[in-house]
Amino acid sequence: MVRIPSCDKLNLKRGLCTAEEDAKVLAYVSKHRTSNWTSAPKKAGLRRCGKSCRLRRTNYLRPDLKHHNFTSQEEELIIRLHAAIGSRWAIIAQQLPGRTDNDVKNYWNTKLRRKLSEMGIDPITHKPFSQILADYGNIGGLPRSTKRIGSLSRDLKTSAYMKPEHYSNSAQGLFKGIDVDLSTPSLLLPETEPVMDKFMNGNVHQLNNNNSLNLLAQLQAMQLVTEASYCTFNEQIQPNFYAQGYLPSSSSSSSSSTTTATYRHSSSAFSWQDFLLEDSFLPSELPREHENIAEFPVNQTACQAENGISKEEMNKEISDYQYNRFEAMHCLAENNDIETSSSAENTFIETLLHQEDKILVDFLNLLEEPLYY
């Protein structure tokens, strides 16, 4: 593919823009919109490449941009989203009105990353350094999989991963009253956050009316799907499942001793502990795909009453969901040689890779356009 010649080759101006150049860009945009940035500098009387002008406009001159410091709420959201989806700055920035991906990226690189490090938290894994070091003591060998998550997502995109409508619909129906849209790239669902608050805390308390937290809420909801699917409820989640009637109040359940601070959803002050990801590396129950699938949407009566669907429809949703989860995991295992056995037997790195891929499957619909045609 032919690349656009660099500014160097065309002897165009580089470096910081002057006020005069900004004015020309703004004047051009107001007159011609932003239909063609390649011809823009010439028409605007600028000796810069179109890309440079576009970036200047996108990252600095847009009228809706905020130029003041990040608030603690924004800070919190960035960290939480980074913990959930990594350095997808564009996606994160979409949840922060008036901020660009460049803003968020710079803020992360200059402030938040260091802040987390100073707190003893690894900004990449969002786990305490001490734990990482401890885990490294258990390294027994290198992972067999060499593909990383970036290529993995593309592999998944082209893999035979079908039945989108069933996947999204069924996953959506698994929690009564929780409006989690797993299919659309547009992630803003105004009612999600209150529902999640209610769900996680057992009551509806004062809500942060910042709708940008909806993505986070949905990520959390999706993570709940993961948690439920892998049958590793911890003590913070599980009581709420029972309290809210999502699980039968029958037998006592085993629960991990680890806390999942990610699920705490305070609307005001936050603790840095909140940004620690749950420790999935500790020995836990095996991923009992088949078992937990059968018991997952257990409170069928409640779900049916809530959603007005028949038992047969619900069973179909459940089985479709199971089928698609199995398909996705099967693709992952085939393409990436991922071991789905007990994480307790894996090395730290293997477990990390497995965990990332597992998360990817659940977040796939957030990160990508629908894969199906």
Partner DNA sequence: AAAACCCACAACCGCGATCGG
Partner DNA sequence: GCCGATCGCGGTTGTGGGTTT
159 binds DNA (CB under 7 A): no
| Cα(228)–Cα(222) distance, integer angstroms | 10
- What are the tokens at 50? 């179109």
17 binds DNA (CB under 7 A): yes
Q: At what angle do helices 311-336 and 348-367 cross, to 10 degrees?
A: 130
363 binds DNA (CB under 7 A): no
Candidate residues 26, 66, 75, 87; the one interacting with DNA per rule CB under 7 A: 87
Question: Segment near DNA (CB under 7 A), from 82-90, 182-190, 308-316, 326-334?
Answer: 82-90
Residues 6 or more apart whose Cβ sits within 8 Å of residue 329: 289, 340, 361
Residue 163 burial by Cβ neighbours in a 10 Å radius (0-12, 13-18, 19+): middle
1 binds DNA (CB under 7 A): yes
CB of 65 vs DNA, minimal distance in Å: 9
CB of 52 vs DNA, minimal distance in Å: 3
90 binds DNA (CB under 7 A): yes
122: left (phi over 0), alpha (psi -120 to 50) or beta: beta
Query: Which letter does DSSP use for residue 110 in this model?
Result: I
Q: Please give the C-alpha separations between residue 82 and each of 28, 85, 100, 251, 349, in angstroms, as whole numbers.
A: 36, 5, 15, 36, 20
Q: Which is nearer to DNA, 15 or 63 (CB)?
A: 15
161 binds DNA (CB under 7 A): no
Residue type for 21, please?
A: E
54 binds DNA (CB under 7 A): yes
| Cα(338)–Cα(331) distance, integer angstroms | 10
Candidate residues 73, 102, 335, 340; the one interacting with DNA per rule CB under 7 A: 102
88 binds DNA (CB under 7 A): yes
Candidate residues 72, 110, 209, 271; the one interacting with DNA per rule CB under 7 A: 110
Candidate residues 41, 46, 80, 107; the one interacting with DNA per rule CB under 7 A: 107
| Cα(261)–Cα(277) distance, integer angstroms | 7
Candidate residues 20, 27, 62, 69; the one interacting with DNA per rule CB under 7 A: 69
15 binds DNA (CB under 7 A): yes
319 binds DNA (CB under 7 A): no
CA 115, 121, 126, 132 torsion-angle sign:
positive
**Where along the sequence are the contacts to DNA (CB under 7 A)?**
1-4, 6-8, 13-17, 34-39, 48, 50-52, 54-56, 59-60, 67, 69, 87-91, 101-103, 105-107, 109-111, 154, 369
